[in-house]
Amino acid sequence: KLGNATAKAELGRATWKYFHTVMARFPEKPTEDQQEALRSYIFLFARLYPCGECAEHFQQHLNKYPPQVSSRKAAAGWACFIHNEVNAMLEKPEFDCTNLGSFYDCGCAENEKAEKG
Ligand code: FAD
């Protein structure tokens, strides 16, 4: 059956932006509960991703490379790695994960204090 490649790519770009921004905002020192929340979120995200073919591939990547949720750095690094796996599958260039830095900025204050200040 014929898909719509433009719509699929647009959904992908928007989703990756959101996905990496979630990681960039994950606590640096997450509690057990926060770690479990991120792990569950990632598995449900993969299961519910609207493009069925993509969801299927992504779940296979997840089984091979389980989510790293021990810290913000670990989560962001893992997400970059797994996005690169998708890039490789689609024959897209590899993103340099050492260049993540503040690439994904939510535009929100880092904490309550900063917001008030
Ligand atoms: P995208 O891959 O969408 O990336 C957007 C931007 O993110 C890039 O321009 C770059 O600035 C940055 N970026 C690139 N790589 C990384 C990285 N490793 N870490 C952090 N930032 C990075 N499409 C299919 O055709 N088949 C599939 O099976 C498929 N599976 C997908 C699974 C998921 C979970 C998602 C979210 C998307 C999937 N897509 C799939 C869509 C595909 O990954 C792209 O989003 C789409 O092809 C558009 O590609 P793009 O070149 O614009 O860049």
Radius of gyration over every alpha carbon of the chain, rounded to an integer in angstroms:
15
Q: Are 20 and 76 in contact (CB under 8 A)?
A: yes
ipTM above 0.95, yes or no: yes
When pLDDT is cut at 50, 70 and 90, the band that residue 62 belongs to is very high
CA dihedral of 10, 13, 19, 20, whole degrees rounded to 10: -170
Nearest CA to ligand 1 atom 39: 12
- Site to probe by mutation for ligand 1, drawn from 47, 73, 86 as the one with most ligand atoms within 8 Å of Cβ, is 86
Tally of CB atoms within 10 A around 36: 12
pTM, to two decimals:
0.94
When pLDDT is cut at 50, 70 and 90, the band that residue 101 belongs to is confident
Ligand 1 binding site (Cβ under 6 Å of any ligand atom)? 8-9, 12-13, 15-16, 20, 49, 53-54, 57-58, 80, 83-84, 86-87, 90, 92, 95
Question: What is the average pLDDT across 65-76?
Answer: 98
